[in-house]
Chains A and B, each alone.
Chain A
Amino acid sequence: MDLALLVLVVLLLAGSVAGGVLAWQAREDRADAAAEQERYGAVLAAARAEAEAFINLRYDDAQASIDQVADGATGEFREQYTSSSERVIDELRRDESVMEGDVLHAGVVSIDEGSATVIAATAGTIATRQTDNQPVERNFQLRLELVLDDGRWLTDDLQFVD
Chain B
Amino acid sequence: MTDGSRASRGPSSEPTGHPTRSRVLLAAAAVLLAGVVGTEVWYLAGSDDVEPSAERPVVTGTVVQRSAVESAARSTQEILSYGFEDFDAQVDDATTKMTEPFAEEFRQTAAGDKGRFVKQRITQEVRVVTSAVVTASEEEVQALLFLDQYVARAGEGTSVTLYRALVTVRRSDGGWLVSDIETE
- Chain B residue nearest in CB terms to A40: B58
Q: Which of B23, B57, B61, B164 makes the CB contact (< 8 A) with A141?
A: B164
Closest chain A CB from B36 CB (angstroms): 4
Residues of B within 8 A of A64 (CB): none
Main secondary structure of the interface of B (DSSP, over half): mixed
Residues of B within 8 A of A30 (CB): 48
Q: Which of A2, A12, A33 makes the CB contact (< 8 A) with B33?
A: A12
Q: Report the stretch among B84-92, B99-107, B127-135 that lies at the interface.
A: B127-135
Contact A19 to B36, CB < 8 A, known contacts A109-B132, A143-B130? yes
Q: Which of B22, B48, B57, B129 makes the CB contact (< 8 A) with A40?
A: B57
Residues of A within 8 A of B110 (CB): none
Residues of A within 8 A of B129 (CB): 161
Chain B residues within 8 Å of chain A by Cβ, number: 39
Interface residue ranges of B97-131 to A (CB < 8 Å) = 129-131
Is A106 touching B22 in the complex (CB atoms < 8 A)? Answer: no
B1 within 8 Å of A by Cβ? no
In the assembly, what is the distance between CA of A143 and CA of B146, in Å? 10
- Chain A residue nearest in CB terms to B26: A5
A8 within 8 Å of B by Cβ? yes
Residue positions of A touching B, CB distance < 8 A: 1-2, 5-6, 8-9, 12-13, 15-16, 19-20, 22-23, 26, 30, 33-34, 37-38, 40-41, 44-45, 104-109, 118-119, 121, 123, 139, 141, 143, 161-162
Residue positions of B touching A, CB distance < 8 A: 12, 20, 22-23, 26-27, 29-30, 33-34, 36-37, 40-41, 43-44, 48, 53-59, 61, 129-134, 142-144, 146, 162, 164, 166, 184
**Apart from the given pairs A9-B29, A23-B43, A37-B58, 10 other A-B contacts in the complex at a CB distance below 8 Å:** A12-B29, A19-B36, A20-B40, A37-B57, A41-B54, A45-B54, A107-B143, A108-B133, A121-B144, A121-B164
Q: Can you list 14 A-B contacts with CB-CB less than 8 angstroms, sorted by A residue number?
A: A2-B22, A2-B23, A8-B30, A15-B33, A19-B41, A37-B58, A41-B53, A106-B144, A108-B133, A121-B146, A121-B164, A141-B162, A143-B130, A161-B146
